[in-house]
């Protein structure tokens, strides 16, 4: 993940009223798009606490001084936020986030974030609107089922609102030793490899072979249990995995490419989305 100097408080490229969906609620928690510079700053502060303070990523001097995880793509992204209304209604209440980058939004940059790790040519050629997912994190105190389910509901609502055909992004496994993650990487490759037409491939100079162990030695049930919650969530939506992992030494992770056709999301969330959208208007 690259570090790029940007102006610190920039609201995403989209107008939340145009690309958002109001707010979906579950008890005291709500999910919507961030819509103020203060909320974007809170998102970046939360990401810093999770990725750097908790997960051991290595900050640049600028990142360390600011206590914020931010890059050029924040300026063109929409930022999904989970709000705990018991803590307020604005920046002080942000407890979860997901960065959403629509294909149209990257015109000023010229490429998706994931292009630094993967050849996305197959995805770019896909007929339909693309959405890149990234920078997902939740405050440790809110990592129960309620906040995660609400985040998925918000993502589904955004997908429907913006007529997204394909979602993709890099998902991370903690650590940088492929052998320590041999079971997980091998399972993902042998059980969930994307078909050729939808298969991102790690760039040659970053490619790490995911085929670490004989597939006959893999216990799928145990392998799934050892995966990070986010990747398990993607797989429940029918996600495919790209060819090749990528070591991200800065963020202390091994990344895999994830691809989800949204018709699978539609099948699962359509009724829920329509009801929530009606309630939010």
- The Cα–Cα gap between 262 and 216 comes to 31
Q: Write down the pLDDT at residue 18.
A: 67
9 within a domain of the structure (yes/no):
no
Q: Examine residue 1 and state whether it is found in any structural domain, yes or no.
A: no
Tell me how many degrees the CA angle 114-132-116 measures, rounded to the nearest 5.
10
Q: Does residue 27 fall inside a structural domain?
A: yes
Number of domains in the chain: 1
Does residue 10 belong to any structural domain of this protein? no
Q: What is the CATH number of the domain that holds 33?
A: 3.40.630.30
pLDDT 10s digit of each residue in the chain, 281 long? Answer: 433 334 444 445 555 566 778 899 999 999 999 999 999 999 999 999 999 999 999 999 999 999 999 999 999 999 999 999 999 988 999 999 999 999 999 999 999 999 999 999 999 999 999 999 999 999 999 998 899 999 999 999 999 899 999 999 999 999 999 999 999 999 999 999 999 999 999 999 999 999 999 999 999 999 999 999 999 999 998 999 999 999 999 999 999 999 999 986 766 666 554 554 455 44
Residue 145 has what pLDDT? Answer: 84
Q: Answer yes or no: is 268 within a domain.
A: yes
Kindly state whether residue 5 falls inside one of the protein's structural domains.
no
3-state DSSP of 41-93: HHHHHHHHHHHHHHCCCCCCHHHHHHCCCCCHHHHCCEEEEEEEHHHCCCHHH
Supply the DSSP symbol for 153.
Answer: H
Identify whether 2 is part of a domain: no
Helix (H, G, I), strand (E, B) or coil at 145: helix
Burial of 141 (0-12, 13-18, 19+ CB in 10 A): exposed
Question: Whole-angstrom Cα distance, residue 123 to residue 270?
Answer: 24
- Which domain does 87 fall in, by range? 16-280
Give the residue from 20, 138, 10, 8 showing the smallest Cα distance to 76.
10
Q: Is residue 3 part of a domain?
A: no
């Amino acid at each position: 993940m690259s570090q790029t100097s940007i102006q610190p408080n920039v609201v995403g490229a989209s107008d939340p009223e145009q690309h958002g969906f109001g707010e979906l609620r579950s008890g005291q928690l709500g999910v919507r798009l961030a819509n103020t510079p203060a909320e974007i700053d809170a998102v970046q502060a939360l990401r810093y606490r999770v990725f750097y303070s908790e997960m051991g990523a290595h900050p640049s001097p600028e990142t360390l001084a600011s206590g914020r995880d931010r890059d050029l793509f924040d300026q063109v992204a929409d930022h999904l936020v989970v709000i705990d209304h018991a803590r307020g209604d604005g920046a002080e209440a942000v407890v979860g986030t997901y960065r959403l980058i629509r294909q149209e939004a990257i015109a000023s940059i010229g490429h998706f974030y994931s292009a630094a790790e993967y050849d996305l040519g197959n995805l770019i050629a896909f007929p339909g609107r693309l959405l890149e997912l990234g920078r997902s994190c939740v405050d440790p105190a809110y990592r129960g089922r309620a906040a995660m389910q609400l985040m998925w509901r918000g993502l589904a609502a955004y997908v429907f609102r913006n007529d997204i055909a394909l979602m993709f992004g890099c998902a991370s496994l903690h650590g940088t030793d492929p052998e320590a993650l041999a079971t997980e990487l091998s399972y993902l490759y042998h059980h969930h490899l994307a078909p050729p037409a939808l298969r991102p491939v790690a760039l040659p100079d970053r490619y790490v072979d995911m085929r670490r162990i004989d597939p006959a030695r893999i216990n799928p049930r145990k392998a799934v249990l050892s995966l990070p919650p986010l990747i398990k969530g993607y797989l429940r939506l029918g996600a495919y995995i790209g060819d090749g992992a990528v070591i991200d030494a800065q963020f202390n992770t091994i990344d895999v490419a994830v691809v989800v056709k949204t018709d699978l999301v539609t099948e699962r969330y359509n009724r829920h989305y329509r009801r929530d959208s009606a309630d939010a208007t």
